[in-house]
Chains A and B, each alone.
Chain A
């Protein structure tokens, strides 16, 4: 007997269906007998019973599924057979999981001899907690269902109650994303604080030498400036030099010049660019653009041109951001009232003059917001820079040299076997926190600008 959450969920769904039918039937019957008019239509009474039956039991099921393995393990550890286990570490957990797999039928027989005596206690504990869980869940479901069932009366306001429960469920759903983000920030924060207890914050933010060594922190190896500079060079300078003019011009073309049929085809195609996985752009940057740029640099006599260059990563990232800038600029230009455009044309301005002198200045705040959002995306972008920009932390303004970015270094620090308490690994969290705060700030500023601008024309 194991605790199968999926089957149990189906079971309470079935019970909820019965509750729904019963609630509906009872409300109709009570109304018919008393001759009173029902406040809510019968199916609302049905939903009321079904929700009371299902929701508490489902919540219990979710909690129990995550809690019970721990309870089972505790019971096993309390058994006499567990006394011979090694005290800590990898071996101990391997033995435990081996025994658990056999006890729960996932493996035919034990691989580690030490696990054999634990199989029996594991099976017993699993069995016991499965029964406790099922019994508690069913009791909760029935109690909820009965409570709701007995409250049904013709004048009972089932509809109001159901609406309120539905509202609560919707609220819960919207909180999931927010709470998750909050949790991520907290975990980033705690790991970062651990890092800053090993390495001063001043060094990470203002140090100019980045060469993290494994193990103990060595002075002057966690200077983040080369990474921040690389990030800015690629994401905020080179990528934007590519994306802003091309994105703006394509938006102007699409909103002002393109025939409706052209717009109908070109706009979705541009938006498809936004859906290309970034790893594909990474290939393109590393295998096509980077070698071509290097050959070009060598041909025009630039020394120390590298195959991994800031320029290759930045240009491809700019191409990736084009649809984003273009679509934000498109929205802003479209939001400028037609009257403004007519006013300019009626004074004898050409379409080109109208765009340059009236539409773009009027759309500028919205466009600026879009550009800031694009920058915040570009500096958080990982795959292209990992594949094309390289990993050597150079503090250089030469776009043909190899630079590295915050995201690329986070990947480098966290891939492979790592100890999660070395300064080197913890540095990844501190970098992540810096990146998170910067992009958060950019997003807040950008959204404020966009919002303020929208209000101006309503």
Chain B
């Protein structure tokens, strides 16, 4: 693995020697990576390379899968997230997640966005909660489209709107990191462009990690790119370097479309 010229002085998240096992099967082998505070980091690689698995270990969503085991250390602001003292509920409030398929709850648009705030008791009054919902929807670029129908069901929105609703839902909890697991794979090109635009706008406010199949997307939205193959991190560097001047042969073959 090559990792020179990565000037991340104060990483938001730092993974060192991380391996993930599902029962007997090893899905991730010895991955070390730093996630910058105000950067968008893209994980690319062919299907089954372990990039989603690795992403899910960053907010311990792998805990919900029976038989999953993570070794190595993952730190958030220098704090080991797998330490016994870490409260997984608080961790997930700090490290939000957006999924591959939009998964709004079968509740109103308002209740979808307010869900996390209510659970964590972030709002002290109804007006406060209204403010949180409006800010989150505005940041997610959805406010103008839904402000007149906040009581309608979140599932009645279009696919792209649903995905932005899910991003708003994650933002409303005021996280520090947002993990996105192929957020555009179920969307059409126009909805995809909107999400990418949104990622641009959110950059700097949150550390963003995005898993994507689409290499053009990685090139467009990210500043750092990590290339995974067969459960290992092959190459990690500035996005411009990875796409114009890859160091590893496998990376070159993948981004030029020889496999994957």
Residues of A within 8 A of B (CB): 260, 337, 339-350, 353, 357-358, 361-362, 456
Contact = CB atoms under 8 A, between A and B. Distances in A.
A346 B97 contact: yes
B92 A348 contact: yes
B59 A346 contact: yes
Given A343-B104, A347-B173, A361-B107, 9 more contacts: A341-B64, A342-B61, A342-B99, A347-B116, A348-B93, A348-B116, A349-B116, A349-B119, A362-B105
Nearest to B99: A339
Interface string B220-241: 0000000000000000000000
Contact of B89 (A341, A348, A358, A456): A348
B161 to A, nearest CB: 16
A2 B104 CA distance: 74
A260 B67 CA distance: 11
A344 B111 CA distance: 12
Interface string B103-130: 1111100000001100110000000000
A345 B103 contact: no
A343 B99 contact: yes
A117 B246 CA distance: 113
Contacts of B101: 339
B51 interface: no
8 contacts: A339-B103, A343-B105, A345-B64, A346-B99, A347-B96, A348-B116, A349-B89, A456-B106
B174 to A, nearest CB: 11
Contacts of A340: 103, 105-106
B27 interface: no
A355 to B, nearest CB: 13
Interface in B168-207: 169-170, 173
- Most chain B CB atoms below 10 A, which of A345, A347, A350, A357: A347
B107 A346 contact: no
A344 B107 contact: no
Nearest to B100: A339
B166 interface: yes
Given A346-B92, A348-B90, A350-B89, A357 B103 contact: no
A232 B171 CA distance: 49
A342 B89 contact: no
A361 B106 contact: yes
Contacts of B97: 342, 346
B9 interface: no
Interface string B56-86: 0001010010100000000000000000000
A156 B90 CA distance: 75
Contact of A346 (B66, B96, B105): B96
- Most chain A CB atoms below 10 A, which of B61, B101, B115: B115
Contact of B120 (A339, A344, A348, A362): A348
Contacts of A343: 99, 103-105, 166, 169
Given A260-B66, A342-B64, A343-B99, A348 B105 contact: no
- Most chain A CB atoms below 10 A, which of B61, B106, B115: B106
Q: Which 10 A-B pairs have the closest CB atoms?
A: A348-B93, A346-B97, A339-B103, A348-B92, A347-B116, A343-B103, A348-B89, A362-B106, A349-B119, A358-B105
B95 to A, nearest CB: 9
Nearest to A365: B106
A113 B225 CA distance: 108
Contact of B103 (A337, A349, A353): A337
Contact of B92 (A341, A347, A456): A347
A341 B97 CA distance: 13
A346 B106 contact: no
Given A260-B66, A342-B61, A342-B64, A348 B173 contact: yes
B115 A357 contact: yes
- Most chain A CB atoms below 10 A, which of B59, B101, B104, B105: B105
A131 B237 CA distance: 98
A347 B106 contact: no
A299 B104 CA distance: 53
Nearest to A364: B106
Interface in B124-169: 166, 169
A337 B101 CA distance: 11
B103 A347 contact: no
A350 B87 CA distance: 11
Contacts of B99: 339, 342-343, 346
A342 B103 contact: yes
B169 A347 contact: yes
Contacts of A344: 105, 115
Nearest to A346: B97
Contacts of A345: 61, 64, 92
A340 B169 CA distance: 13
Contacts of B59: 346
Contacts of A346: 59, 61, 92, 96-97, 99, 170
A347 B116 CA distance: 6
Contacts of B119: 347-349, 353, 357
A111 to B, nearest CB: 74
A341 B105 CA distance: 9
B159 to A, nearest CB: 13
A350 B118 CA distance: 13
B170 to A, nearest CB: 7
Contacts of B106: 340, 361-362, 456
B66 to A, nearest CB: 7
B42 to A, nearest CB: 20
B247 to A, nearest CB: 34
- Most chain B CB atoms below 10 A, which of A342, A346, A349, A361: A346
B10 to A, nearest CB: 24
A341 B66 CA distance: 15
A344 B103 CA distance: 9
A345 B89 CA distance: 8
A357 B91 CA distance: 20
Nearest to B87: A348
A17 B103 CA distance: 61
A346 B98 CA distance: 8
B97 to A, nearest CB: 4
B208 to A, nearest CB: 15
- Most chain A CB atoms below 10 A, which of B97, B101, B119: B119
A23 B101 CA distance: 59
A361 B155 CA distance: 14
A445 to B, nearest CB: 21
Contacts of A349: 89, 115-116, 119
